[in-house]
Amino acid sequence: MNRSARRRLTAAALTAVAVTTSASACSSGSGGTGTNGADGGSYAIWDPYPQFDRTSAWAKLLDGCGTEAGVKVKRTAFDTSDLGNKTLLAAQQGNSPDVLIVDNPVVSTLAEAGVLTSTGDNKLDTSKVDPNLLAAGQSDGKVYGTPIGANTLALYYNKKVLKAAGVDIASVKDWTSLTAALAKVKQAGKKGITFSAIGTEEGSFQFLPWFWGADAKLTQLDSPQAVSALSLWKNWLDKGYAPNSVLNNTQTTSWQEFASGDFAFSENGTWQLANADKAGFDYGVLPIPAAAGGNAAAPTGGELVTIPVQKDTGRYATAQKLVSCLSNSQNLLHTDTTLSYVAPTSDDLGTKYPKISEQMWKAVQSALSGSTSPKDALTSAQSAAK
């Protein structure tokens, strides 16, 4: 993946607060999930990885870091969309976990709400972290977390499907050539491209490379450039190059469509590389093209490890040891923590981003479903975002 094509992440916000979902949490320990429910020798860690049970390499790493720090780890895992709400509630109740692993868009809002300690408070060393990745944990000049990983979006392609359609992948350099390739694939009796356009942050996340690839700006959702990007997706659906299922696809279900072997292309995350190797067919990966050629900017994401505010500040020293252990690259190399979802963030919009993003995904849904034209959908989005 061409790192220069990645979009720098700065501040973002917590969309989970406005979303009502059912909790899906699992715990590898017993007792309370916050510090008040733990004895002096146990430390609570919350993460967004409920897919990893206590037998996983991830859970074993948590236990190992606890042993290294001389404490017992009590882990609770929540769905990504629910973790932010739980964290805010725990802070209000004075029962925050000692260590919180959270999607990078959430960090700035939690920091502004006074939920997280800064590295000045907890003494966590982030001097060796890539500034581009560390930026997602910064707010008002302070650092509130350290990245545990990073990922971005790309185009996966099925070599067999493209060969049968007579498409040379080297010819795909911009939107025109990509659309031409999709036309050939359909004519050959196969399916074109799958992606996620669901009405959540995942939909915005997947639309951003096309939006930015048209040179559109998030501060002007109804610009001609933005309209061209949404019109591209709408055109693909109208011509049958992309399925109507994209309206409900998460990035996971979109990947499952591609893994069936019938699609030529899939927009998805670099976290799918392990699954691509298991797909059973030859595949390739290329950066998402910009409208006029070259690589489109794509959102870079990942989780950050943070240390929430505690009444007993003496707990920070041990929490810092746990975070340093968890974010150690040598430790993570041996785990199965394939990051599954990362919400998009935007340059210097901070907590203004969620409202903009919500109007973006609503516009995408409206246009792709045929309710309104791309232009009218984005005009309404811009008006609402103000």
pLDDT tens digits for 259-288? 999 999 999 998 888 889 989 999 999 999
Q: How far apart are CA 38 and CA 75, in angstroms?
A: 11
pLDDT tens digits for 307-326? 999 999 999 999 999 999 99
* Predicted confidence band of residue 339 (pLDDT cuts 50, 70, 90): very low
Residue 187, in any domain of the structure: yes
Match 């909790």 to its residue by tokens.
Answer: 23
Cβ-contact 146, 200 below 8 angstroms: no
Residue 144, in any domain of the structure: yes
Residues 261 and 185 in one domain: yes
Residues 236 and 375 in one domain: yes
* Predicted confidence band of residue 229 (pLDDT cuts 50, 70, 90): very high
Residues 210 and 62 in one domain: no
* Predicted confidence band of residue 18 (pLDDT cuts 50, 70, 90): very low
Q: How far apart are CA 11 and CA 115, in angstroms?
A: 16
Would you give the distance in Å from CA 210 to the centre of its chain?
Answer: 16
Enter the tokens of residue 362: 């609503």
Residues 321 and 275 in one domain: no
Residue 338, in any domain of the structure: no
How many Cβ atoms are within 10 Å of 125's Cβ, its own excluded? 12
pLDDT tens digits for 39-57? 458 999 999 888 788 888 8
pLDDT of amino acid 16? 27
Residue 371, in any domain of the structure: yes
Q: What's the CATH number where 192 sits?
A: 3.40.190.10
Residue 252, in any domain of the structure: yes
Mean pLDDT across the stretch 236-263? 96
Please give the residue range of the domain that contains residue 58.
3-150+303-332
Residues 7 and 140 in one domain: yes
Mean pLDDT across the stretch 204-227? 96
Number of domains in the chain: 2
DSSP string covering 64-114? HHHHHHTSEEEEEE--HHHHHHHHHHHHHTT---SEEEEEHHHHHHHHHTT
Residue 343, in any domain of the structure: no
